[in-house]
Amino acid sequence: MGTLLVGIIVAEARANAQTRLARYRIEACGVLSELLQDWWADPDSMPRDDEGEVFDQEGWTWRTTVTEQSEALEAEVVTVEVFGPHQQGEDVAAARVELLLPHLAELDEDAGAAVDDDEQDEDADDE
pTM of the model: 0.71
**How does pLDDT run along the chain (127 residues), one tens digit per residue?**
788 888 999 899 999 999 998 999 999 999 999 999 988 888 778 898 999 999 888 889 999 999 888 788 788 999 999 999 877 667 789 999 999 888 876 555 555 554 455 555 555 555 5
User: For the CA atoms of 64, 68, 71, 76, what is the dihedral angle to 10 degrees?
Assistant: -30
Q: Specify whether the CB–CB gap between 83 and 64 falls below 8 A.
A: no
Q: Specify whether the CB–CB gap between 89 and 71 falls below 8 A.
A: no
Q: CA-to-CA distance for 99 and 65, rounded, in angstroms? A: 10
C-alpha radius of gyration, the chain, whole number: 23
* Topology given in CATH for the domain delimited by 2-126: Pantoate--beta-alanine Ligase; Chain: A,domain 2 (3.30.1300)
